[in-house]
Structure 1
Amino acid sequence: METLLLNQRDVDENARMSEVIRAVSDAFAAYERGDAQMPAKSYIDLPQYNGDFRSMPAYLDAGEWDAAGVKWVNVHTDNNDKFDLPTVLGTVIYSDPTNAFPLAIMDGTTLTRKRTGAAAAVATDHLAVPDASSLGIVGAGVQSYTQLEAIAEVRPIEDVVVSDIDEEKVARFIDRFDDEFDVRAGSIAEAASCDVLSTVTPVEDPIVTREMLGEHTHVNAMGADAEGKHELADEVLLDATLVIDDYAQTTHSGEINVPWSAGALGDEDIYAALGEIVTGDVEGRTDATGISVFDSTGLAIQDIATAHVVYEHAKENDNGYPFDLVDTTVQ
């Protein structure tokens, strides 16, 4: 048996967004049903390098398929300036759960971007108004691209407002999507007034206030993934139909972690976990007005569900580099 090595191009070509969205939705459902195992994300903090490592293992049984694996990922905020590397680098080991054979080692950086966009799309599909046609994005970094790509799969997006203090990033974003959407630069307030808003920044002081949001805006809060990060004002969280991806992770390191730690927000303010809505145990949006927020920290089950899609298509398309990682002659 051989292990398949899949680089950035292989992952990008085989992570078809519509299928990734469906797989991530299945992963949320499996987790809610108890058909998934996902130990807590573990951290190795490296303040001397202004970064950290994170280990994210998971197993899930989606019914028609099951999968297991682990993502080894980092956040090093100086990478771009000092080393000309992405802030986030990831590697996924994808294994056969029946015998633990490592089926693939693949680029986890591109995979992370894809599944993050897909998670926002799953939440948007259940929480945004059905005819949502405008999307605001705050933060024009690498994660912003898959926010638009994925959300446009579930809503008829036509108008896009992107906001970032880095004008070059905004220009690159507009250049990428100008042929497909009516996309323009705007202020945070202009982005926040759209039907759907995705925030993908690392800020620790809130930048989106309640007054900025439209009467039915759905917000995907994607940026907070560590203690202290906080993109939305407390008033937004308290006034919204608040949906989380995972209780332990969101209270520790999600968008709600700061007001939660301060006692300004509690269990009674959380409407549901996204898995409860995906399975139909709890209703999604039911009113034409009112704001909603999805607090996304990123779950290992999303990574492994996406890795499943990538691996299956890579095999079909004869992509990647097969090599002998395991000596199968040793018993």
Structure 2
Amino acid sequence: MIVVDRERLARLPLLTLAAPAIREAYIAVTDGRANLPPVGYLPLSGRNADCHIKYGYIEGDPIFVVKIAAGFYDNPAKGLPSSSGMMVAVSAETGDVIAVLDDRGLLTDLRTGIGGAIATMALWRGGARRIGIVGTGTQARVQIRALAALSDRPLHFTVWGRSPERAQAVLTDLADLDLSIAATTDLETLCRQSDAIVTTTPSKEPLIRSQWIAPGTHITAMGADAPGKQELDIALVARADRLVVDLADQCLDHGELSAAAGAGLIARDCCIALGAVLSGASEGRLSDGDITIADLTGIATQDIAIARTVLDELGLLGRSQGTTP
């Protein structure tokens, strides 16, 4: 068994390298190839923390993956990252553990960022340039890096944070990129002026009001990945013209759509699978005036995709066939 540490993983250009596999991972959910058992969820409410266990298999793959991802949301105040975890890649032929990817949350952060960028680019309107980023944590940074790496157009980013210092820190951390980027503490103005908005906070109460969102705006909601989390006003969710999900069962149970569904404002048949949009089986945005929302709760096929990309890039996939890499 091989253990690959975070430092080695961080040297791989995964934002671009893994994007095609993650795009295909969404499609696998809709065409019957994905086996996705229910997510394991462990809340540590007294510590403002939680842990997810996600696992799954894509038919025909040489591996399946078990992922542990922990979020400790008070860590940034201690000078520590908020996310940690690991992925275990197991041979789908023999059951042998091929590798432990000791990424300490890096691969989850990257696959989430890539997935968010893929959804945003699939649903924003033609000519969208102004991107609002809600939040100042790790995922805010990764969403910007992913969009900058994968977009086919120049973008202007505005980052919102409750404190100017935290918003400015995001800009400082992204100084290695050639970006048009600004910081703000005015969330309403950010929402009114953005063509697309990406929300990345662990908020437990709505931050974004329906009246702030103009026709034609796209929102990719990333933060609500556990019961009780919510970033969008339920009136906004109910008002949206198109609701796109990575996995309907998860999104209606504990994603951004769950509060609106619980209030009886939306039904399951309102949900359009992102994989179906990407494959062309369903339409995403129907017009430039549509308000579109993508609710992404994170699915194991993303973890499989990025783990497979890593193993392939490092020459380790041959181990699943019983050969020496």
**TM-score over 0.5 (shorter chain):** yes
Write the distance in 1 (CA, Å) between the matches of 2:144 and 2:312.
25
Measured against aligned partners, the alpha-carbon deviations of 1:212-258 in whole angstroms (never above 9, x if no partner) come to 22331111100001111111112221122110111111111100111
Provide the aligned length of Structure 1 versus Structure 2. Answer: 311
- Give the SS at the match of 1:191: helix
Deviates more, 1:86-95 or 1:175-184: 175-184
* 1:7, distance to aligned residue in structure 2 (A): 1.8
Matched AA of 1:168: E
Report the counterpart of residue 83 of structure 2 in structure 1: 88
Instruction: Give the 3 Å change call, closer, same or farther, for CA 285–142 of structure 1 in structure 2.
Output: same
Tell me, yes or no, if structure 1 residue 55 matches structure 2 residue 53.
Answer: yes
**Residues 1:137 and 2:133 are matched in the alignment:** yes
Partner in structure 2 of residue 204 of structure 1: 204
The whole-number CA distance in structure 2 between the counterparts of 1:104 and 1:131 is: 43
1:154 corresponding residue in structure 2: 151
Question: Is contact 1:245–1:275 with CA below 8 Å preserved after alignment?
Answer: yes
- Tell me, what secondary structure is at the counterpart of 2:308? helix
Q: Which residue of 2 aligns with 1:188?
A: 187
TM-fit CA distance, 1:15: 4.8
Amino acid at match of 1:98: E
Q: Do the aligned partners of residues 9 and 168 (structure 1) sit closer, same or farther apart at CA in structure 2, a change above 3 Å counting?
A: farther
Give the superposition deviation at 1:81: 4.1
Runs of at least 5 residues in structure 1 that lack an aligned partner in the other structure: 317-321, 323-331
Query: Percent identity, aligned pairs only?
Result: 28
Cα deviation for residue 146 of structure 1 reads: 1.4
Q: Which moved more, 1:42-51 or 1:103-112?
A: 42-51
Q: Name the residue aligned to 1:243.
A: 244
Q: Is the 8 A contact 1:37 1:59 kept in 2?
A: yes
**Local SS of the residue matching 1:231:** strand
> Structure 1: which 4+ aligned runs deviate by more than 4 Å?
none
Q: Separation in 1 of the partners of 2:233 and 2:91?
A: 43
**Residue 32 of structure 1 aligns with which residue?**
30
Cα distance in 1 between the residues matched to 2:58 and 2:258: 27
Match in the other structure for 2:322: none
1:99 to 85, 94, 100: 94
Quote the offset at 1:268 in angstroms: 4.1
Is the 2:35–2:57 contact (alpha carbons within 8 Å) kept by the matching residues of 1?
yes
Distance in 2 between residues matched to 1:15 and 1:251, nearest whole Å? 34
CA contact (8 A) 1:57 1:70 kept: yes
1:12 matched residue in structure 2: 10
SS of the equivalent of 1:205 reads: strand
Work out whether residues 252 and 268 of structure 2, in 8 Å CA contact, stay in contact via their aligned partners in 1: no
Amino acid corresponding to residue 71 of structure 1 in structure 2: K
Alpha-carbon distance change, 48 to 284 in structure 1, aligned in 2, over 3 angstroms? closer
Tell me the TM-score normalized by structure 2: 0.89
- SS of the equivalent of 1:315 reads coil
**Residue aligning to 1:177:** 174
* Aligned-residue CA RMSD (Å): 2.1
Q: What amino acid maps onto 2:92 in structure 1?
A: P
